[in-house]
Structure 1
Amino acid sequence: MSTITAQRPTGAFIAVSWIALLLGGLVFSVGLWNANMQASEKGYYFILLMYGLFSAISLQKSVRDRMESIPVTAIYYGLCWVSVSIVLLLLLIGLWNAALPYTEKGFYAMAFLLSLFGAVAVQKNVRDIQALDRRSSSPDTVTGNS
């Protein structure tokens, strides 16, 4: 495995990451709230959003852990990939069979993907900042020894 040379994310990238996460989740949720569908169908899509956010963050964390030589079991790593694949497949099947216009289907798919991207970007920023803070507070850095 290789070590990562992390750079501090810019304020603009941090802001855009949070905006993507919040905007994607909010737009998806507001779309569900206003949708003309049964409560069980709304619940299905909302749970997919929650499951998708969790699985995307978990996958990003396990990939990053492996890159930083932090042990991640092969089973957990594989389950993360399977989990993201399952949530995307369930969203695709749900939207394919939904009695919605194509524009609404596209709206839900794009809002969903935007929120997943935002979640992964926010998690990456958090890990980058933590890595830099750990490095700057290590004894070698403080005393100037390399």
Structure 2
Amino acid sequence: MSNDNEVVIEKGKQNDLKMKVEGKEGEPTAAFKGASWAALLVGVAAYLIGLFNASMELNEKGYYFAVLVFGLYSAVSLQKAVRDKDEGIPVTSIYYGISWFAFIVSISLITIGLYNAGSIVLSEKGFYAMAFVLSVFAAITVQKNIRDAQRARERE
């Protein structure tokens, strides 16, 4: 496939022509990439707006912000290490172990922080937990999409 979007014409069952646009092999669709970015932006924005409007001390807000940033970074780092290892790209065992450790610590920090937060009502705790999980999952997906798109470009 030489073009980014090659037009393929197929004959349907009733001899009418149908047009289909094909992307590069292995590249995520634009809809999936857009949905992933939207989920990341919605998750992070919701989490940060919640923190901004929260009636907690500034040091507590800083803790939850740092946990979000740490969680996003550790999730992307772990996804990269796991995928590199799966694809036969050399990954040192120390980096692989640290990636898992950092991800587990970030999940533990948000869990312990929300469990012990006395100034936050239960519904807010659920909101922060869900926004955190959405953000982390979306960050992994966005990173995967970027890598898949890059690999598809390199195959040309």
User: Would the TM-score normalized by the shorter structure come out above 0.5?
Assistant: yes
**RMSD of aligned Cα (Å):** 0.9
- 2:88 is matched with 69
- 1:130 is matched with 150
SS in 2 for 1:8: coil
Q: Of Structure 1 and Structure 2, which has the larger fraction of its residues in helix?
A: 1
Aligned residue pairs: how many? Answer: 131
Is residue 12 from structure 1 mapped to residue 31 from structure 2 by the alignment?
Answer: yes
CA distance in structure 1 between the aligned counterparts of 2:65 and 2:47, rounded to whole angstroms: 8
CA distance in structure 2 between the aligned counterparts of 1:70 and 1:7, rounded to whole angstroms: 18
> Gaps (5+ residues) in structure 1?
1-5, 137-146
Measured after TM superposition, the shift of residue 48 of structure 1 is 0.3
User: 1:83 corresponds to which letter in structure 2?
Assistant: A
TM-score calculated relative to the size of structure 2: 0.82
Is residue 106 from structure 1 mapped to residue 103 from structure 2 by the alignment?
Answer: no
- 1:80 is matched with 99
Measured after TM superposition, the shift of residue 14 of structure 1 is 0.2
Q: Deviations over 1:33-86 (max 9, x none)?
A: 000000000000000000111100100111111122110001110110110000
- 1:26 is matched with 45
* Structure 1 outlier segments of 4+, above 6 Å: none
CA distance in structure 1 between the aligned counterparts of 2:101 and 2:35, rounded to whole angstroms: 28
Bigger Cα Rg: 2
CA distance in structure 1 between the aligned counterparts of 2:122 and 2:32, rounded to whole angstroms: 32
TM-score calculated relative to the size of structure 1: 0.87
CA distance in structure 2 between the aligned counterparts of 1:20 and 1:52, rounded to whole angstroms: 16
Q: Of Structure 1 and Structure 2, which has the larger fraction of its residues in strand?
A: 2
Between 1 and 2, higher relative CO (CA 8 Å, sep ≥ 6) is seen in: 1
- 1:142 is matched with none
> Gaps (5+ residues) in structure 2?
1-24
CA distance in structure 2 between the aligned counterparts of 1:19 and 1:78, rounded to whole angstroms: 30
CA distance in structure 2 between the aligned counterparts of 1:129 and 1:11, rounded to whole angstroms: 10
- 1:53 is matched with 72
User: 2:80 corresponds to which letter in structure 1?
Assistant: K
